[in-house]
């Protein structure tokens, strides 16, 4: 039996239909998220401005009040506000994309339901792709892309299931997922086929699956970092007496505060960094089995290590007093840029031992 004969073309075709179907449902979810942002109430807008304009002068010593009660002096301790390290401001989190409005919340719930449906359909597409060749569904860039977007949405839904306030992430996530799938089905599509002999190893399941999961979590952290930079600029403008535009106010007021976004991104990146370390170690062990050496500075190996160094530098910077807030955020985005180049650039533009099945 030839390798081609081992491919179940019917299942491969079903997988393609499911991926396109998932894209259709994601598109409906995208419009539902848009409706959540557009029709959500703006009644709570300007809460950030109010918090910034009414905060006490931090340079003045807090007043101490002494009450005389029956000859006994009672010292009333002043209220001390602990300021966030990133934003150095005390502002409340926004009400979310729906703005606290019942109609907006309805659209948001519809969007979440559609996202869950699309996730299940896309997961079925990835699964049938795997069944069509009876192997892990990440033997080329097309399969890597559809698996990556599935996992990214799964991370988002998992955070929601844990009762985390991340619905604001939905619109930005689904937009990029649609772009990722569009790239996959148009530019990166590869027909379902068997793997080259070097990839027939149980390390394929361990090494590549962890790489995909780490990338999905790094992506979620990067979105939070980008939004943090926008929200921090918005808060800074308000604090200096400026007047942001109507669109910026309508969108950014609904997001969590800059300090909350910064903390979210840091925690996400810090949580997955040890797994990225394991991913590199697992790849080295697999390289020792497949090529007889653990490390050879192959382009994929090199950029994986560069990505590790960049994220390690970011985490170290967060523990250093002079590298919090925007400086650390820029470093986090550079680190994610390294991961993106390792994901796309190395596979498409650079040849090496990791170059299999074209892209």
The string of pLDDT tens digits covering residues 102-136 is 888 899 999 999 999 999 999 999 999 999 888 88
- Whether the per-residue pLDDT at 315 is higher than 60: the answer is yes
How far, in Å, CA of 135 to CA of 176, rounded? 27
Residue of 210, 199, 356, 194 lying closest to 289 (CA atoms): 199
Count Cβ neighbours within 10 Å for each residue of 91-112 and write b for 16 or more, e otherwise. Answer: bebbbbbbbebeebbbbbebbb
Residue 99 near residue 254 (C-beta atoms within 8 A): yes
The string of pLDDT tens digits covering residues 29-85 is 999 999 998 887 654 445 555 555 554 444 444 444 555 555 554 444 444 433 444
**CA atoms within 13 Å, Cβ hemisphere of 184:** 26
Handedness of CA 248, 249, 250, 254 (dihedral sign): positive
Residue 85 near residue 324 (C-beta atoms within 8 A): yes
Give the pLDDT score at 133.
84
pTM of the full predicted structure?
0.81
How far, in Å, CA of 262 to CA of 84, rounded? 10
Give the pLDDT score at 357.
46
How far, in Å, CA of 228 to CA of 268, rounded? 14
Q: How far is CA 51 from CA 48, 56, 63, in A?
A: 5, 10, 20
How far, in Å, CA of 125 to CA of 128, rounded? 5
Please tell me whether residue 67 adopts helix, strand or coil conformation.
Answer: strand
Domain ranges (residues) in the chain: 4-52+84-349
Comparing 139 with 110, the larger pLDDT belongs to: 110
Backbone angles phi, psi at 73, to 5 degrees: -80, 125
Tokens 């539902």 found at: 32
Least confident of 70-74, 169-173, 175-179: 70-74
Report which secondary-structure segment, H or E, holds 74: strand 72-76
């Amino acid at each position: 039996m030839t390798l081609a004969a081992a491919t179940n073309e019917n299942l491969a075709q079903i997988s393609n239909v499911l991926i396109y179907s998932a894209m259709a449902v994601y598109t409906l979810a995208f419009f539902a998220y848009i409706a959540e942002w557009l029709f959500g109430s703006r009644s709570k807008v300007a809460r950030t401005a109010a918090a910034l304009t009414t905060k006490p002068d931090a340079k003045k010593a807090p007043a101490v009040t002494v009450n005389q009660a029956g000859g006994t002096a009672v010292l009333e301790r002043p209220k001390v506000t602990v300021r966030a390290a990133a934003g150095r401001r005390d502002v409340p989190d926004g009400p979310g994309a729906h703005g606290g409005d019942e109609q907006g919340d309805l659209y948001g719930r519809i969007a979440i339901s559609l996202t869950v449906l699309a996730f299940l359909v896309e997961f079925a597409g990835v699964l049938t792709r795997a069944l069509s060749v009876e192997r892990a569904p990440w033997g080329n860039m097309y399969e890597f892309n559809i698996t990556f977007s599935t996992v990214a949405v799964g991370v988002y839904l998992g955070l929601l299931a844990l009762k985390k306030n991340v619905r604001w992430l939905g619109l930005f996530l689904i937009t990029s997922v649609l772009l990722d799938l569009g790239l996959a089905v148009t530019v990166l599509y590869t027909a379902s086929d068997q793997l080259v002999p070097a990839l027939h190893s149980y390390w394929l399941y361990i090494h590549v699956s962890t790489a995909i999961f780490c990338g999905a979590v790094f992506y979620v952290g990067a979105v939070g970092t980008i939004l943090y930079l926008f929200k921090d600029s918005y808060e800074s403008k308000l604090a200096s007496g400026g007047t942001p535009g109507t669109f910026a106010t309508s969108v950014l007021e609904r997001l969590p505060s800059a300090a909350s976004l910064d903390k979210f991104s840091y925690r996400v990146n810090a949580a997955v960094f040890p797994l990225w370390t394991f991913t590199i170690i697992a790849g080295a062990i697999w390289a020792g089995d497949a090529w007889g050496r653990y490390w050879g500075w192959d382009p994929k190996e090199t950029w994986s290590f560069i990505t590790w160094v960049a994220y390690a530098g970011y985490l170290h910077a967060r523990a250093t007093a002079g590298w919090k807030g925007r400086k650390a955020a820029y470093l986090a985005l550079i680190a994610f840029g390294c991961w993106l180049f390792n994901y796309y650039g190395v596979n498409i533009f650079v040849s090496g031992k990791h170059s299999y099945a074209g892209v």
